[in-house]
A and B are shown apart, each in its own frame.
Chain A
Amino acid sequence: MTASPLTPRLLSAVADFAHALVQASFNRALHARDSDFVRESMQDVVAALGTLSSMGVETPLRLQLDERRIFHDGQPLDGPSLQAATLLAQCAERDIAVIAFDERLDATELNRFFDLLTSPVNVEAFARHNRAAAMCAFDVKHVKVTLRHAADPGDRSRTLGAPDEALRRYQGLADALQNNHRLALHDHELAFDAAADAVEDSLRPLDEPSLLLSLSMQDDVDRFTIGHSVRVALLALQVARGVGASGDQLVRVGAAALMHDIGKSKVPQEVLFKQGRLTPEEWQAMAEHPRLGAEILLQQREPVDPQTISAAFCHHMTCSGGGYPRTKTPMQPSATSRLIRVCDVFEALTAVRPYKRALTPIEAFAVMRREANDFDPRWLTNAVRVLGLIPNGSRVQLTDGSEGVVVAQTRALLQPKLRLLTGPGGAALPADHPGEVTVGHPFEGQIPMLACVKTADRELPLPDVDSLDPAGNGPTAHDACLGHGHSRGRDAGHVDRT
C-alpha cells in the first residue's frame, strides 16, 4: 500500500513516530514505568503508529538503527536521532539492528518492550541469541527485533545524513543534559563534569565547523528542554567563539548555557508540557525555574562553576532590570548571562512550538530588536554578525527563480554566498556552472538578489537590497538601550516559554 520511496509528507510522519518513540524511551528512563507520564508517552507512540497506518504506510513499520542514527528505508531520520542516544545505546547493547512495529501494538505492550530494553537480564539473553525467548517472557508480540548479524543487508543504512562526528557530539551534549535533568528530578548529585566534558568535546575542530550548528537547526518535537538547551549552548558557543573567547571561557559559557534550564526539572510536568496558554498560577510556577535551577546547582556537594549557577538564575533578567525572578537584592546580569539570554530567546523564536510557528532567523532578530531594552545590544549585534541574518544552511530563492543554500556570510548581511541547487525557474544548472554565487555580486552579466527565504512550511519574501535605507530605519538596539529609541515595553512574560 505504501508508495516507494515515501513522499516527504510520509517520511515526516515516520520521523514523528520515531520522535515519539525516542521521547517514550527518555521518559521511561526518567519516570516510574507506571506513571501517567510514561503511559501517555506510550500512547503517543501508538497514536503516531495509527496515524502512519491511516496514511497508508505499510506496517510492520521497520526502523533500522546503527550506533548513531535511526533510519527508515535507508533514509536517515536525523531529527529524532539527535535525541536518541539512550534508545540507540540500549539497542546496540543487545545487538538490535532493526525494530518492526505492528499496527496492533498497544501502549501496555510497548511499555513491556521497554521493560525488555531496560532490563540488564536481557542483555545476556540477546547475547545468547535468545531474543525470541526474551520477547516471549515479556509478552511482546507486536514488536519484532532483528539482530545485527541476521539483518538483511538492505536494512543497513544506505544513505548518509549528518556526518557522524557532528552527530556524535550533538548526541553527547544531549545525553549529558538528559542525564543531569534526570538526576536533578530525583534529587541526586548532578554529573556536572560530564556536561562540561561534552561541551569541551563539542569545541574540538570539525572539518566543517558549521555542521554542529546546522544540526541545531533540526526541527524536533522535544517536549522536554533538552533539544532547546543543546541548541542554546551551541548558539552561545558560536557567538562567544566569534568574538574571540578563550578555550576556558568557552567551556564555562557552554556548560552554563547547557544547564541554564535545569530548574525546569522541578517545574510540575502538567505546566511544563501544557500546550495551551498558561494561567497566571501556572506562569508563576514556570517563572520559578530560574530560582529552582540556582538552588539545585547550589546544593551540589561538588561545587558547580559560579557562572553556571548565575546563568541559571539570571537568564530571564533583562539588561534594564526587568524580567524574572524578582529579587530583593539588586541584580545585574553578567555578560555570560546576557549572552545566554539572547541565545535563549533567539532559539525559542526560531523553534516550532505547539502554540506558535517558527520564525526565520531574520524575523527573530527583528522581533528582538523591537524589544531592545531586554537584551544586551552588544550581544544582539554579535549574534547577528556571527550567525548572519540568513544563516548558513538557509534555503533561499533568488529574484531570477534560482534556488540555493547559504554556505557563507559576507560583510553585507543580506548578501551571503550561496551554493546553487537549481537554475532560473527550477531548471538544472549547466554542467560548467561553478555552482556558487555571492548575492549582489555580478555573475554572468546578472546581479543575483535574494527574493525569499524558504522554510519547511512557508516562504518569507525579503526586501529588495537596492532599496535598503542606508540611514537606517527606526531606532537601533543601541539607541533603545541608551534610552534614545522607542520600546513597546514588553513584559518578560511576552517571550516564549524558553
Chain B
Amino acid sequence: MADRRRTHPDATPFREAISQWQLAARTEVKRASSLPSSMFDAADGMIEARLAETVETMMRLLQHAPDDPNQRRASGEHLEQRAEQVSQDELRAMPTAFGEAKVAVDLDEHVAAEYFNLLVEVWRTGDAATAEAARERLLADIPADAAGELDAATAVIAQSLRGIAGGHIDADADLQDLERLCAAVAAAARLSSGRGEDEPA
C-alpha cells in the first residue's frame, strides 16, 4: 500500500490535523448544544472527549489502515487487544458459587516441604553458584539430626546404585549426578515419611 503521507507532501501534519479536527468538532458540538458555553464543559465534558476520540480514531484509520486486513495481521505491528468475554449466565452463577463463608487456611501449610523441595531442585539444576547457595541453605536450615539422617540415607542409596551399576560409573561428573539424585530420593523419602512438614524451615 502506498504511503499516503508521501503522496501529499504539502498535507497538514497528522497531529496538527487531529488537533484541528478536535477543535472543529468541539466548536460544532458547543454551537449545536442548547447549553451555554460556560456550562457545557462542566455539564458534559465527556461528549466532547468522546467526539474528539472518534475523530482521532477515524483519522488514524484513514492514515494507517492497510487495504487488506490480512496484511495488517501479518505485519505483527499492531497490538493484539485481548478481551475475555464473560457471559451473563456466568455472572449470575457467581453469588451461588462463592456463597459459602470464608475458609480457614493455615498460611504455614506446606511451607517447610515447599522450601525443602525448592532447595533440592535448585541444588540439582542450578548453576554452580546457585547450587552451592542451595546446598548451604539446606545444611543451615534443615535441623542437624535430620541432615545427618539424610546424609546417611543418601550414602546407602548411592552405595546400592553403584553396586547395581557395576563398572559403568567412572567419571566424577557421573558420580556427582548420582549423589545429587540420591539426595533427592532421600529427601523425597523423608518427606513422604511425614517428617519435615512441621519442622521450622
Which residues of A pack against B, CB within 8 Å?
3, 5, 7-9, 50-51, 54-56, 240, 242-245, 249, 252-253, 275-277, 294-295, 298-299, 303, 306-307, 309-310, 313-314, 327-337, 339, 349, 354-357, 359, 362-363, 365-367, 369-370, 376, 378-382, 384-386, 389, 412-414, 461-463, 465, 467-474, 476-477
Interchain CB contact under 8 A, B82 and A355: yes
User: Closest 3 A-B residue pairs measured CB to CB?
Assistant: A473-B93, A9-B49, A463-B92
27 A-B contacts (beta carbon < 8 Å): A8-B45, A9-B46, A9-B48, A9-B52, A9-B53, A56-B22, A243-B102, A243-B105, A276-B78, A295-B126, A295-B133, A303-B140, A306-B111, A310-B111, A310-B114, A333-B114, A339-B107, A355-B80, A356-B81, A357-B83, A359-B84, A378-B105, A461-B88, A467-B92, A469-B93, A472-B97, A474-B97
Known: A310-B111, A359-B84. A365 touches B94 (CB 8 A): yes
Task: Return chain A residues, CB-CB under 8 Å to B16.
Answer: 54
Known: A389-B95, A472-B93. 10 other contacts (CB 8 A): A7-B48, A9-B52, A309-B118, A330-B188, A339-B105, A384-B98, A471-B96, A473-B96, A477-B97, A477-B98
Interchain CB contact under 8 A, A327 and B121: yes
Task: Return chain A residues, CB-CB under 8 Å to B103.
Answer: 243, 378, 381-382
Interchain CB contact under 8 A, B125 and A9: no
Interchain CB contact under 8 A, A335 and B108: yes
Known: A54-B15, A245-B107, A298-B134. A276 touches B92 (CB 8 A): no
Task: Return chain B residues, CB-CB under 8 Å to A329.
Answer: 117-118, 120-121, 124, 184, 187-188
Identify the closest chain B residue to A8 (Cβ): B45
Shortest Cβ distance from residue A234 to the other chain B in the assembled complex, whole angstroms: 16
Identify the closest chain A residue to B101 (Cβ): A385
Task: Return chain B residues, CB-CB under 8 Å to A369.
Answer: 90, 94, 97
How many Å lie between the Cα of A313 and that of B121 in the bound state? Answer: 11
Partner among A275, A276, A299, A473 whose Cβ is within 8 Å of the Cβ of B130 = A299
Interchain CB contact under 8 A, A298 and B115: no
Interchain CB contact under 8 A, B83 and A309: no
Interchain CB contact under 8 A, A306 and B113: no
Identify the closest chain B residue to A354 (Cβ): B79
Task: Return chain B residues, CB-CB under 8 Å to A330.
Answer: 117, 188
How many Å lie between the Cα of A366 and that of B48 in the bound state? Answer: 35
How many Å lie between the Cα of A370 and that of B133 in the bound state? Answer: 40
Check if B86 is an interface residue, CB within 8 A of chain A: yes
Shortest Cβ distance from residue B183 to the other chain A in the assembled complex, whole angstroms: 10
Q: Mark B142-170, 1 if CB is under 8 A from A, else 0.
A: 00000000000000000000000000000
How many Å lie between the Cα of A252 and that of B141 in the bound state? Answer: 17
How many Å lie between the Cα of A331 and that of B91 in the bound state? Answer: 34
Check if B41 is an interface residue, CB within 8 A of chain A: yes
Check if B129 is an interface residue, CB within 8 A of chain A: yes
Known: A362-B94, A468-B96, A470-B96. A303 touches B114 (CB 8 A): no
Which residues of B pack against A, CB within 8 Å?
15-16, 18-19, 22-23, 41, 45-46, 48-49, 52-53, 76-84, 86, 88-111, 113-115, 117-122, 124-126, 129-130, 133-134, 137, 140-141, 184, 187-188, 201
Partner among B98, B109, B184 whose Cβ is within 8 Å of the Cβ of A335 = B109
Task: Return chain A residues, CB-CB under 8 Å to B46.
Answer: 8-9
How many Å lie between the Cα of A244 and that of B104 in the bound state? Answer: 8
Identify the closest chain B residue to A253 (Cβ): B107
Interchain CB contact under 8 A, B93 and A385: no
Shortest Cβ distance from residue B75 to the other chain A in the assembled complex, whole angstroms: 10
Known: A310-B115, A330-B188. A355 touches B102 (CB 8 A): no
Interchain CB contact under 8 A, B120 and A309: no
Task: Return chain B residues, CB-CB under 8 Å to A461.
Answer: 88
Task: Return chain A residues, CB-CB under 8 Å to B79.
Answer: 275-276, 354-355
Identify the closest chain B residue to A51 (Cβ): B15
Interchain CB contact under 8 A, A7 and B45: yes
Task: Return chain B residues, CB-CB under 8 Å to A3.
Answer: 41
Interchain CB contact under 8 A, A337 and B102: no
How many Å lie between the Cα of A70 and that of B97 in the bound state? Answer: 43
Shortest Cβ distance from residue B44 to the other chain A in the assembled complex, whole angstroms: 10
How many Å lie between the Cα of A49 and that of B140 in the bound state? Answer: 55
Interchain CB contact under 8 A, A298 and B130: yes
Identify the closest chain B residue to A474 (Cβ): B93
Known: A244-B104, A328-B124, A332-B114. A56 touches B80 (CB 8 A): no
Task: Return chain A residues, CB-CB under 8 Å to B101.
Answer: 385
Interchain CB contact under 8 A, B95 and A468: yes
Identify the closest chain B residue to A412 (Cβ): B95
Task: Return chain B residues, CB-CB under 8 Å to A370.
Answer: 90
Identify the closest chain B residue to A236 (Cβ): B107
How many Å lie between the Cα of A470 and that of B92 in the bound state? Answer: 10
Task: Return chain B residues, CB-CB under 8 Å to A335.
Answer: 105-111
Interchain CB contact under 8 A, B93 and A276: no
Task: Return chain A residues, CB-CB under 8 Å to B118.
Answer: 294, 309-310, 313-314, 329, 331
How many Å lie between the Cα of A329 and that of B188 in the bound state? Answer: 8
Task: Return chain B residues, CB-CB under 8 Å to A313.
Answer: 118
Shortest Cβ distance from residue B77 to the other chain A in the assembled complex, whole angstroms: 8
Known: A7-B45, A245-B107. A298 touches B83 (CB 8 A): no
How many Å lie between the Cα of A106 and that of B83 in the bound state? Answer: 36
Task: Return chain A residues, CB-CB under 8 Å to B117.
Answer: 327, 329-332
Identify the closest chain B residue to A388 (Cβ): B98
How many Å lie between the Cα of A151 and that of B78 in the bound state? Answer: 44
Task: Return chain A residues, CB-CB under 8 Å to B113.
Answer: 332, 334
Identify the closest chain A residue to B120 (Cβ): A329
Interchain CB contact under 8 A, A386 and B102: yes
Shortest Cβ distance from residue A274 to the other chain B in the assembled complex, whole angstroms: 10
How many Å lie between the Cα of A412 and that of B137 in the bound state? Answer: 47
How many Å lie between the Cα of A454 and that of B185 in the bound state? Answer: 55
Shortest Cβ distance from residue B187 to the other chain A in the assembled complex, whole angstroms: 8
Known: A9-B53, A355-B81, A381-B102. A389 touches B94 (CB 8 A): yes
Task: Return chain B residues, CB-CB under 8 Å to A332.
Answer: 110, 113-114, 117
Identify the closest chain A residue to B13 (Cβ): A54
How many Å lie between the Cα of A482 and that of B46 in the bound state? Answer: 48
Task: Return chain B residues, CB-CB under 8 Å to A240.
Answer: 107
Known: A240-B107, A328-B125, A335-B109. A463 touches B91 (CB 8 A): yes
Shortest Cβ distance from residue B197 to the other chain A in the assembled complex, whole angstroms: 10
Interchain CB contact under 8 A, B89 and A473: yes
Shortest Cβ distance from residue A103 to the other chain B in the assembled complex, whole angstroms: 11
